[in-house]
Structure 1
C-alpha cells in the first residue's frame, strides 16, 4: 500500500470488505454489525467517517462492508482497539469467506459527514 505514489497517510482511508456469511447466521451477523456501528459512533466519531453495509439482492448471505477512516492512523486504531478486536472474534465464527479491498481517497470533502 505505501509503495503507491497516490497513497497519503494523512488523507481519508477507504476500505471495502466482501463477506459471505455462513448459512443461517445472517441475522446474527446483522446484529453484530449494528453493535459495531453503535460502538464506532460513540467511541470513534473522529476516526471513522463512514461505516456502512449492503446486503446482496441475489445472495442474502453476501454483504459488502464499507468504511472510510479519517486517515491511516485511524484505520490502524480500528484494527487494534480492544473492543473491535473482540467484535472480530465474534465475527469470525459467523463468516464463511471474506475478501478485502483498500483504496485511495480521490475526491469529496474530507471534513463533511456522510
Structure 2
C-alpha cells in the first residue's frame, strides 16, 4: 500500500503510543532498477498490520515477516533482495534491481 512518507512515520508513532510493538523498514540502498527510492518506509505492527511500501511488490511479505522477529527480539536487520538472490523471482525483483532494507524496532 502506497502512502506519503509522513503518513507512514506518523502511523508508526501512533501505534507505539497505543502500546503496540512496531518496526520501521527503510530502503537504504538501491542498485539498478528498483521499484521504490531510497528513504521509502514500511511501518509494521506486532499484529502484522502495515502501511507504506519498500518495493511495491512481494518484498513486503518478506519484510513483514522479518519485522515480526525484529519486534520480538529488538535486534535490527539489514535485508538485501535482488537478482543475485535465489529468492529474487519469489520476491518480485526479476527485473534486475536490488534493494537493501533496514528494519528496526521503534522504541
**TM-score, normalised relative to structure 1:** 0.34
Higher helix share: 1
Q: Which has the higher contact order (CA 8 A, sep 6+)?
A: 1
**Bigger Rg over Cα:** 1
